[in-house]
Each structure stands twice: as structure tokens, then as C-alpha cells.
Amino acid sequence: MNVADSAPAMNNLLASNADSQRTLYPYVTGTSVVGIKYKDGILLAADMGGSYGSTLRYKTVERLKSVGKHSIIGASGEISDFQEIMRYLDELILYDNMWDDGNSLGPKEVHNYLTRVMYNRRNKFNPLWNSLVLGGVKNGQKHLGTVNMIGVHYEDNHVATGFGNHLARPILRDEWHENLTFEEGVKLLEKCMRVLLYRDRSAVNKLQIARITEDGVAVFPPYSLKTFWNFNAFQNPTVGAEGSW
């Protein structure tokens, strides 16, 4: 007569005693983030979706945030963990400012800090369930890198998380070059985001682009992309093969 809910039982198997914990699975998640270096700095793009399993539940989630004066971060994965990471970063920047010594944390340092946080949580089997893109400019040096929930981190001229790795990076490998102008960079990112919109089930058509240059950070207002459906092959796809798709 007792059909107890199995989730607590499974939880007990995975946690050896009452105190040890682990994040088992994400609930509200963000999808791809794409980042590129361009002539004057870094450009990041991400949509504003917060999925709840297969439901596109939230459509105005800001996944691109500035960190201090020299960096911007984009996050995919569990949004509550990203919110916690932002609290860590805001505290980091605050303490850095409190030294009041004219020095400020650059993107390389922030990226390294995040790597340590993510890797140490992974070692305790309690990861922050995110894949992060960290970009910035300091003293003329551009930096663009990524860190994920298992602590894997690297830098490149263009990075992406999640589906972006499969759909956006091939485009970027082909079309990215040094000295992209701002306009060229935005168009390139939009090309990537449009493909993601077509092919990623958790993408929503509302996105933001963020830019960072030596002069500072700009997170642009949300907007939507036009999509194209008027291919001949789309009009009558099953003519001559009824029942196919």
C-alpha cells in the first residue's frame, strides 16, 4: 500500500549521508552563448530563453552580464547557479575595488577565478551546472575564453557553449577573421544565432548582444531576428513521396 515517491530514495542512494549534497539535475536552463573577438574587442550573443525541461517557460532571462569594467560573462545551463555565480563575481569585484589601489581585475583573472570555482565544485561532486563564456579587454589585450561545469577551460578567437559548438563554430571557423568591424561582427553573430533558432529546440527568438572594448561594456537591448521559410523545397516537400517528411 505504500508506493513512496522514488525520488527521495534515489537521492539517498546518491548522497552517502545527510550532509553531503550534489546538484543532481538542472531545472531552469539557458541555451547557447556565442562569443567572438573583433577589431575593437569582444562581442557576445545569447538568447533570452529560460527553459524548464521541454517547456520554453521564461522568455526574458538576461544571460549576458558585465563583470567589473573589463569583462562580460555569458552563461548557459542552470539559471539559479548563474545567479549564484554573479553574486560571487560581484563580491570579487567589490573586494577588488575596496583595495582602492588603481588596479582592477582583468578578464584573464576573472576567467581563472571562475575556472577554480567550477573545478573545485566538480571535485566535490556538487557542480555549478553552467557553461560560461568570459570575454574582455584590458590594456589593449583582448581575452575570450570558456569554462564549464567540469572545469574544462580554454581560450580562442571564437567560443560557444552547448549547441553553439556544433552549429555556430563551424560558421565561425569559415568566416571569422582578425579585424572584423563591429558591423561585420554583429552580422556574423546574427548568422550564428539564426541557425541556432532554426535548429535548437530550446532557442527563443529574443536575443541580446553585448560588446566590450577598451572604452567599456555595452549590453544592447533585446530584439528578434527575421527567419526565412520560402524555399521551394519547403513548399511541397512530400510531392512524389506521399507519407514521407
Q: What are phi and psi of 97, to 5 degrees?
A: -70, -30
What is the torsional sign of CA 84, 122, 163, 210? positive
Question: What are the beta bridge partners of residue 75?
Answer: 132
Instruction: Determine the Cα–Cα distance for residues 228 and 240; give it in Å rounded to an integer.
Output: 24
3 binds other proteins (CB under 8 A): yes
* Member of 42, 43, 46, 60 binding other proteins (CB under 8 A): 60
What type of residue is 22? R
Candidates 10, 21, 141, 177: give the one binding other proteins (CB under 8 A).
21
Q: Whole-angstrom Cα distance, residue 121 to residue 101? A: 31
Q: Report the residue from 58, 113, 119, 220 that binds other proteins according to the rule CB under 8 A.
A: 58
Q: CB of residue 79 vs other proteins: minimum separation in angstroms? A: 4
Contact (CB, 8 A) for 188 and 36: yes
Choosing from 6, 55, 179, 227, the residue that interacts with other proteins (CB under 8 A) is 55
In the bound state with other proteins, the residue whose beta carbon lies nearer, of 84 and 156, is: 84
Closest distance between other proteins and the C-beta of residue 3, in Å?
5
DSSP-H helix ranges across 145-229: 163-175, 182-199
Rank residues 26 and 185 by Cβ distance to other proteins and give the closer one.
26
Rank residues 201 and 233 by Cβ distance to other proteins and give the closer one.
201
Q: Residues binding other proteins: what is the number (CB under 8 A)?
A: 27
Does position 15 interact with other proteins (CB under 8 A)? The reply is: yes
**Site for other proteins contains 12 (CB under 8 A):** no
Q: Which is nearer to other proteins, 3 or 239 (CB)?
A: 3
24 vs 152 by CB, closer to other proteins: 24
Catalytic residue among 23, 55, 60, 161: 23
Give the separation between CA 236 and CA 81, rounded to whole angstroms: 45
Closest CA to 24 of 42, 39, 12: 12
The answer to whether residue 13 forms part of the interface with other proteins (CB under 8 A) is no
Verify whether residue 181 is a known catalytic residue: no
Nearer to other proteins, 8 or 140 (CB): 8
User: CB of residue 124 vs other proteins: minimum separation in angstroms?
Assistant: 13
Closest CA to 186 of 39, 32, 30, 31: 39
Residue 75 as a binder of other proteins (CB under 8 A): the answer is no
Tell me the catalytic residues. Answer: 23
Interface contacts to other proteins, rule CB under 8 A: 1-5, 7, 11, 15, 21-24, 26-28, 50, 52, 55, 57-58, 60-61, 78-80, 83-84
